[in-house]
């Protein structure tokens, strides 16, 4: 007999509610939950991926060990003991910095991982920590840290109430938000338009979002920063600064200094750098500033570029100076039931406290930039990474110069991966520990409620019990942590028992404690509302929540002033030849959703998107095999000729490239595509943070009469 169970989809940021029909351990259907107060029945095509991952015959369910080049199943106890023994021996032989750890972005979608991996990381005692943050949203966190006092004080666009939504380098119809958890962005755009508002998109591609907008403007990759700074200058020049209720939070002397610093960034300079006209830029600025409630939002196109940090700082400033921060319809701050933002210790800005060994790139939030992983493994010397741990990540496909990362992993003395697949990265591991996943695990979004456009809460019990003998992610991290600290436990039995009790807590118990501290709802409330609880729209709260040391919004910081000097040196630079940008598809999410038949079926999506003028100039016809080459590598893939991409720019979607030896993902390999990160250069970074600059990569193209690149 079938039953309907409700849960939140954990495949992307949107937190869509699902109604899942099951019969025992068989999933019969996955539909949108009409009673979910947040998503209201909306789901995207990825939702069926929850079923496909559960049913996937390639998914690992028991630990495997590489023996003479072949994978052999071993017991959990043997796996835990061997992994801990290897890690401890590495610490003793080479020191703690010999161990590196990388966490992919699925980590942020797993309650158990989020609540238990911090103790495990601390047990490693290493500063060589990496995550997907530095190939994605690091500039957002930096701006939040310096302006509002905490890296997670990221203001969220209140698109439910705005009159003017300016989107720069983002495609929310495909991403369902991205640092703006917002299911059904298509409907949100329609709502804005129906109440008389406008949506304007600025992007080198005429994206899915642009097609539904009121205006779209092509812009040269990497040039957005000039447009954003010109807008700040325009606000000052035309005396449009309006801080509203935050006027006492912004020091007047900082405003004056900011106005002076912005003077070089004119509309004329912005037009020359971006390719937009002076008239269009002026009209855009005027329309934004004339709107009663407006919000500027920028994502990957303005984050993973050479001046991504300046760009995200500028976006925050535009919203602040135009009177659209902490106000309905502008940028606002959430009040989640489970609060992960804690008041930082006085003066503890977690940036550049240490640097990477080889290139001296800065740490942020306890992590080093991913662009340094390969060199930290391949460069001899004290502190060289000899052992690597990857968790829910695939840096061979996801980080700059991924082929080099794979070469580096081959040189490690030991590698362990916590993952459900033998993929492009985990194939290099000595041991793989696969956690129960998806429909088998309890879920609560501790991260994405922080970025949601409306305050809600929902706890999802497992839809299907995990198999006998399988382990939850938190069980894996707790087992390893206990072994790592066994020799360091205090002799005092009471203190020891307290530490071990904490290491034995289930995520549900930790969640209950966190909700109690938040004081809004309890686990009992969540249990009584399986569809979720609506906690209302975002409300003005910055005056009470700001976390800077002196309680003021910091519009100026020395790090940004210095980066303006770096930017100014490029004012006369021009780009010759083609540049590469990425793109995303609604049915795809990074590299790990390509082993689902339903998500990869249809026409080939891993294509080189190219403008007709550029195709003609290189004698390329539709469907022709094209070799794309950069400073670090080359790939070959079919051409897709379209005017939706601006001339001078080509695009390859992110996350493909599965035709590598050793991968055990049959469907993904049958739809392999190529990896755009075999072209991105680990030395192309935002120098302020070390964040990867994977958009705007110089490339050349040529017809190819060979087959697609094999590895």
Q: Which pLDDT score, from 0 to 100, does residue 708 have? A: 42
Domain with CATH 3.40.228.10 in the chain: 138-336+542-566
Q: What angle do CA 121, 125, 127 make, to 5 degrees?
A: 85
Q: What is the per-residue pLDDT for 711? A: 31
pLDDT top residue among 347 and 83: 83
pLDDT surpassing 80 at residue 68 = yes
Domain 64-126+386-445+475-517 classified CATH 3.40.640.10? Answer: no
pLDDT tens digits, residue range 321-336?
999 999 999 999 999 9
Q: Is the pLDDT of residue 507 over 90?
A: yes
pLDDT tens for each residue of 598-622: 899 888 999 999 999 999 999 999 9
Which residue shows structure tokens 């028991």?
A: 62
Q: What is the pLDDT of residue 40?
A: 97
What is the mean pLDDT of the segment spanning 472-500?
Answer: 94
Fold topology of 3-55:
N-terminal domain of TfIIb (2.20.25)
pLDDT digits (tens, 9 = 90+) for 233-291: 999 999 999 999 999 999 999 999 999 999 999 999 999 999 999 999 999 999 999 99
Q: What proportion of the chain, given as a percentage, has pLDDT over 70?
A: 98
So what's the pLDDT on residue 574? 86
DSSP code of residue 451: T
Global model pTM greater than 0.85: yes
**What pLDDT, on the 0 to 100 scale, is given for residue 705?**
64
Indicate the average pLDDT of the chain: 95
- pLDDT at position 709 is 41
Question: Element (H or E) spanning 609, and its range?
Answer: strand 608-610
For residue range 195-237, list pLDDT tens digits in order. Answer: 999 999 999 999 999 999 999 999 999 999 999 999 999 999 9
- What would the CATH number be for the domain defined by 138-336+542-566? 3.40.228.10
- State yes or no: pLDDT of 588 exceeds 90: no
Q: What is the pLDDT of residues 625-648, one digit of tens each?
A: 999 999 999 999 999 999 999 999
In the chain, list all ranges with CATH 3.40.50.740: 64-126+386-445+475-517
572 contacts: CB under 8 Å, gap ≥ 6: none
> Residues near 638 by Cβ (< 8 Å), separated by ≥ 6?
604, 607, 608, 623, 624, 625, 626
User: 316: closest CA among 541, 567, 557, 584?
Assistant: 557
- 3-class secondary structure, 494: helix
Please give the CATH topology (third level) of the domain spanning 576-703. Barwin-like endoglucanases (2.40.40)
The stretch 45-64 carries a mean pLDDT of 92
pLDDT band, residue 347 (cuts 50/70/90)? low
Q: Cα separation of 489 and 442, whole Å?
A: 30
């Amino acid at each position: 007999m079938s039953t309907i169970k409700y849960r939140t989809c954990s495949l992307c940021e949107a937190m869509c509610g699902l109604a899942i029909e099951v019969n025992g351990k068989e999933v019969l259907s996955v539909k949108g939950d009409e009673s979910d107060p947040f998503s209201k029945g909306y789901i995207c095509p990825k939702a069926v991926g929850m079923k496909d991952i559960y049913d996937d015959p390639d998914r690992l369910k028991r630990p495997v060990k590489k023996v003479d080049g072949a994978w052999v199943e071993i017991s959990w106890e043997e796996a835990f003991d061997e992994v801990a023994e290897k890690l401890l021996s590495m610490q003793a032989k080479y020191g703690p910095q010999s161990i590196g750890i990388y966490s992919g972005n699925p980590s942020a979608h797993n309650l158990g991982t989020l609540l238990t991996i911090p103790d495990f990381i601390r047990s490693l005692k290493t500063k060589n920590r990496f995550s997907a943050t530095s190939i994605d949203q690091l500039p957002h966190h930096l701006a939040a840290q310096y302006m509002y006092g905490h890296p997670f004080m990221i203001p969220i666009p209140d698109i439910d109430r705005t009159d003017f939504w300016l989107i720069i380098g983002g495609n929310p119809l495909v991403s369902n938000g991205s640092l703006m958890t917002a299911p059904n962005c298509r409907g949100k755009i329609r709502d804005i338009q129906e109440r008389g508002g406008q949506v304007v998109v600025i992007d080198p591609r005429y994206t899915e979002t642009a097609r539904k907008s009121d205006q779209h403007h092509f812009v040269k990759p990497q040039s957005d920063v000039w447009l954003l700074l010109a807008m700040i200058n325009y606000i000052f020049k035309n005396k449009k600064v309006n801080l509203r209720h935050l006027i006492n939070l912004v020091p007047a002397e900082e405003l004056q200094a900011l106005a002076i610093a912005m003077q070089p960034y004119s509309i004329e300079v912005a037009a020359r750098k971006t390719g937009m006209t002076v008239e269009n830029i002026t009209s855009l600025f005027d329309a934004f500033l004339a709107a009663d409630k407006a919000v500027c939002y920028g994502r990957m196109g303005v984050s993973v570029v050479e001046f991504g940090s300046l760009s995200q700082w500028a976006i925050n400033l535009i919203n602040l100076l135009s009177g659209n921060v902490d106000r309905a319809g502008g940028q606002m701050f959430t009040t989640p039931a489970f609060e992960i933002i804690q008041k930082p210790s006085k003066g503890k800005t977690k940036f550049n406290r240490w640097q990477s060994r080889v290139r001296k790139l800065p740490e942020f939030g306890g992590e080093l930039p991913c662009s340094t992983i390969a060199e930290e493994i391949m460069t001899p010397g004290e502190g060289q990474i000899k052992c690597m741990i990857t968790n829910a990540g695939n840096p061979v496909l996801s980080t700059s110069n991924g082929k080099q990362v794979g070469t580096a992993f081959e040189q490690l003395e030991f590698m362990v991966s916590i993952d459900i697949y033998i993929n492009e990265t985990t194939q290099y591991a000595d041991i793989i520990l696969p956690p129960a996943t998806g429909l088998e695990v309890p879920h609560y979004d501790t991260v994405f409620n922080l970025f949601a456009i409306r305050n809600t809460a929902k706890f999802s019990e497992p839809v299907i019990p995990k198999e006998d003998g399988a382990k939850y992610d938190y069980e894996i991290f707790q087992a390893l942590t206990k072994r790592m600290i066994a020799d360091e436990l205090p002799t005092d039995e009471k203190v020891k028992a307290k530490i071990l009790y904490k290491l034995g807590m289930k995520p549900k118990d930790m969640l209950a404690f966190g909700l109690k501290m938040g004081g809004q709802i309890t686990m009992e409330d969540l249990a009584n509302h399986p569809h979720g609880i609506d906690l209302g729209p975002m409300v003005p709260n910055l005056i009470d929540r700001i976390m800077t040391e002196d309680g003021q919004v910091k519009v100026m910081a020395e790090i940004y002033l210095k980066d303006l000097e770096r930017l100014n040196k490029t004012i006369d630079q021009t780009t010759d030849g083609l540049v590469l940008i990425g793109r995303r598809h609604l049915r795809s999410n990074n590299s790990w959703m390509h082993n689902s038949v339903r998500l990869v079926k249809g026409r080939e999506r891993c294509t080189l998107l190219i403008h007709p003028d550029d195709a003609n100039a290189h004698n390329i016809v539709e469907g022709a095999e094209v070799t794309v080459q950069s400073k670090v590598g080359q790939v070959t893939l079919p051409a897709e000729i379209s005017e939706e991409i601006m001339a001078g720019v080509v695009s390859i979607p992110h996350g493909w490239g599965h035709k590598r030896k050793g991968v055990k993902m049959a469907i993904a390999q049958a739809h392999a595509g190529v990896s755009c990160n075999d072209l991105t250069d680990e030395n192309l970074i935002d120098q302020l943070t070390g964040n990867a600059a994977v958009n705007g990569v110089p490339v050349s193209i040529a017809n190819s009469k060979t087959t697609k690149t094999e590895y």
